[in-house]
Structure 1
């Protein structure tokens, strides 16, 4: 099934394979210094079956002089420039072999950064908190091996190897195994659109891995027209799902891949390799809002439109990509709640059409969030929403997040009102460190707040250790009243989601959304069991008039709406109420 990398054949033999179409010779060098030539095969492949045990350390020698790690290394013992290691994935003894996952409509995602928690074992210690909170899926930010000791995750260069700074493959498997024992799914964020700037040698011996005729923000695009390239990433997805037993993948920025046919192929490969009753889920980040992909094997897409509309209403910010949501943000939010995407072919601020019609899709095809690694980490100072939004408005928006039929996503620490920033951090040195630092600061030049070069110089240096340590979440919030108040709210809302909405979330469909006033909307959904869910939200500064509730409507949750106001259909400023009507 796997062609790339080192694959165990039996108790003694390992097959080494490398796609190196632009070199003349390849050998595998073991740590004892012995060198063994690989045989040239068709289509640029080199391969060798060699008697060596698991945990053997090796690297490839290109054209008798260049020593490189295996691009499909399953483990790097130290740095990404050093020796790779043979891994026997069959050696781990799984404890929860009867785990088959959970249905997608039950999903409540919790996104976290493994390095900021201290590694795989420390994340494992956090699992009971997630269960008590009401989370059903842990999502790890990218863990592919990167240079140095720390990275925010999206600069990996060896995508098959869990970062050695986080722990071993066995410790990662134990984390997933333990999560399954708690009833938690585990998803992984994977990056198939680019490699980081330090430690990727593919361009030397396989330069057709990239295409110079199409550029991305990270350089030459990966060439998905090549069969070996397609196999590389399909095999990576299958490794995480089959060898590590992840329950799903979130594919980062697939708009930068630029090949929807490959994405459909990857989804088909996954569905074929993971038959029922096991359930795995595939989620996209896709700026192009290609709704078609959500009918081709993918379960859902991160709904940036929903976040951006809410963010403008909560903060008033309107620069950068928020400029596309500055005009009539309330109407855009209503469109999102009714149809999923806001941009379904309309022109963006750059005059380009974006998106496809999405109103035919179920609400669960969209992952909604108020915060995530991008929306916090892409801010110059990494401020969380609690630092820039009104508290009552944020609580009202949280009710929408956790009780709408869209799949909710939380960002680590959000549930206790953490004020720790999440900054962009790396561990580069010398010229690359300078380039990354200055590049980071120049990103914000178009924002009025940072038009002054002296102010831009205050943006934290990504390579400073302090930038990393300041981003570590406070994992002991219990002593603080304010944090306990936020925790209680999240627990209450998630308890309501699971106990009162439950299976009805499957195949929930919109019954429409209407604008009640500036910042105020009312949205209704027909749940899969026939009941009607209604959420009224007012993020504005004046009272809004909502339709009177049905006589048999149950008041499921309210924030800043008293009983008299409820019966009159009045929504005070910065309030929310959620009602549930029985099936007809």
Structure 2
């Protein structure tokens, strides 16, 4: 017996050598049986129906490692929807495990404060040559030396097939066997904690995937027949067992796997018809369960709402730690590429005003009219501290949901990209980079799946149709080389090429990333724990701007940036940094800080400066 943690769920199993409990909610079923593997055959045990539509049995007939499933009303055998492991794929039997068997080495780990987060988003199957949790372990020292403090895993809950992004998961309690399963994920978390790294997990509570989701076949109550999403009927969060299934899933990852935080995918697509939003109740229960650990929640939501990321009067976090800020990404992308398709039409490449707005006060769209969506979008966010937002210049979505999986570095000039990389890593928002960004990986990351038959054909066809009106297909020959999601080569081509790290240009890019994150640790992080709202001010002149954040009394942090080719003659009462006694934190050219003293910035220059007061006279009146 190890020292593992076992989280008790309403659904599924609770292992005990004296008798394992198996449980399933099926209120309208007439009969439910536990099917399990015997010696050379499968056996069946009737389950008893209790209050609230719960079926249960306690038995010693299923040993650890054996397969089991449920048969509802004499139908097909289905896996446990709350299975911790599978014998094989999503279509087979679940596997009984003892969560306590793992021997943790880092039981004293209490996590790290939110303001220390530097996220590194990665996909388990493409991050390492092995495509596994153990493959990630081999790269942890590289990430630690880079200055990363938190790895964020794309969803790992078991989905149909061997390849996929993970957002089509159907067994939400089961780490995918192809990645190393439950044991492999625990080894990864343990190894990360030994190196002072947090582990976050992306979780999907807005839909189930299309391959291997057996729940509708025996439990239609789990879904809303009258409420739809882009993926089909919405999950019925008005049903207490359904609500508990998801909230307990969050608690399960945080407790049984010692995960440090969760990223809740697309919460705008959670169609919750109850008076209390699922996200609110989930966050409250997480905070209540882990009062003595640093446990964090982030969200993705294109509505630019703020109620879930508000702070208490003392600055503490009652619900969600940070919101992914798509607005920052969109304005950065447009400034770097001049693209105006899709949602980029809401962003202007001629001026840096929107970027300065995002850096100074959160969202760009804070109740403004969106031409892309033909309505007003967003709520005021300037009252929130910068750390309420997670910024990025690319992520899995923004790369993989391009027709050819292009990275920003291949779409923009190197000078523009390097400026944006510095702005991302040294601004007081929480930064996130995607796998390989630290050394300037230019390889594509595409959308890939492992579907077959009619589903596979539909996904391949739908993907082409989705991009048919984009500029990437203005040349009809592009269709011939469009990456088919179901082609194994699309997956292989999306893997990180670690041989690049030894090349001089990539080694230099890694050096710069390390320098930026060292500067963040030394100069910025000590000020972020108490960073207030309403602390940012901005001055914009075309594609050049200054943003100043008053992070503490007598500590004003400045970003001077020129994202154009032409030199910028700084006016409007900017003081000389040399005269004001300012200290350089980082500049992307050795002469930039000295130039600032003369009131000039060369093209594509960035400089971060710490001072005792504002270096821009007009900010002093704010």
In structure 2, the residue matched to 1:137 is 150
Matched, 1:566 2:596: yes
1:225-283: per-residue Cα shift (whole Å, max 9, x none)? 1111110001110110000000000000000003362110000111111121x110000
Equivalent residues in 2 for 1:363-402, closer than 5 Å: 363-402=386-425
Count of residues in correspondence between the two structures: 582
Aligned residue in 1 for 2:115: 105
Give the 3 Å change call, closer, same or farther, for CA 195–530 of structure 1 in structure 2: farther
SS in 2 for 1:165: helix
Residue 520 of structure 1: how far off its partner (Å): 1.7
* Residue aligned with 2:233, SS: strand
SS in 2 for 1:187: strand
Q: Cα gap change, 1:46/1:452 in structure 2, threshold over 3 Å: closer, same or farther?
A: farther
Q: Secondary structure at the match of 2:333?
A: helix
Pick one of 319, 324, 330 that aligns with 1:308: 330
| Alpha-carbon distance change, 456 to 512 in structure 1, aligned in 2, over 3 angstroms | same
Taking the aligned partners of 1:553 and 1:431, their CA distance within structure 2 comes to 64
Whether the aligned pair in 1 keeps the contact of 2:557 and 2:610 (CA below 8 Å) is yes
Query: What is residue 294 of structure 2 aligned with on the other side?
Result: 279
Q: Distance in 1 between matches of 2:576 and 2:143?
A: 34
TM-score by length of 1: 0.96
Q: In 2, Cα distance between the equivalents of 1:582 and 1:103?
A: 26
- Alignment partner, residue 121 of structure 1: 134
Q: Provide the rounded CA distance (Å) in 2 between the counterparts of 1:352 and 1:309.
A: 19
Deviations 1:110-147 (A, max 9, x none): 01001112101010011000110000001111001011
5+ residue gaps, structure 1: none
Q: Find 1:533's aligned residue among 543, 557, 573.
A: 557
Match of 1:580 in 2: 610
Whether 1:480 aligns to 2:503 is yes
In the alignment, does 2:546 pair up with 1:522?
yes
Contact in 2 for aligned 1:538/1:575 (Cα 8 Å): yes
Q: Secondary structure at the match of 1:568?
A: coil
Distance change (3 Å), C-alpha of 1:224 and 1:456: farther
The correspondence of residues 121-270 of structure 1 with structure 2, limited to 5 A, is 121-259=134-272, 261-270=277-286
Q: CA deviation at 1:448?
A: 3.4
* Cα-to-partner distance string for 1:520-562 (whole Å, 9 max, x where unaligned): 2211112246411101112123222332344211112112453
Q: Which moved more, 1:210-219 or 1:459-468?
A: 210-219
Q: What secondary structure, in the 3-state scheme, does the structure 2 residue paired with 1:213 have?
A: strand
SS state at 2:369 partner:
coil
Contact kept, 8 Å, 1:508 with 1:525, in 2: the verdict is: no
Matched, 1:341 2:341: no
CA apart distance, 1:322: 0.9
Give the 3-state SS of the residue equivalent to 1:508 in structure 2.
Answer: coil
1:76 Cα offset (Å): 1.1
What SS does the corresponding residue of 1:527 show, helix, strand or coil? strand
Q: Are residue 50 (structure 1) and residue 59 (structure 2) matched?
A: yes
Cα distance in 2 between the residues matched to 1:22 and 1:573: 68
Cα separation, partners in 2 of 1:404 and 1:549, compared to 1, 3 Å: farther
- Judged with a 3 Å threshold, the aligned counterparts in structure 2 of structure 1 residues 327 and 484 are, in CA distance, closer, same or farther, namely closer
Could you tell me how far 1:494 is from its partner in structure 2? 0.3
Q: CA deviation at 1:583?
A: 7.0
- In structure 2, do the counterparts of structure 1 residues 303 and 329 end up closer, same or farther at CA, with 3 Å as the change threshold? farther
SS in 1 for 2:376: coil
For structure 2, which runs of at least 5 residues remain unmatched after alignment? 1-7, 311-317, 615-622
Q: State the SS of the aligned residue for 1:443.
A: helix
RMSD: 1.7
Match of 1:553 in 2: 582
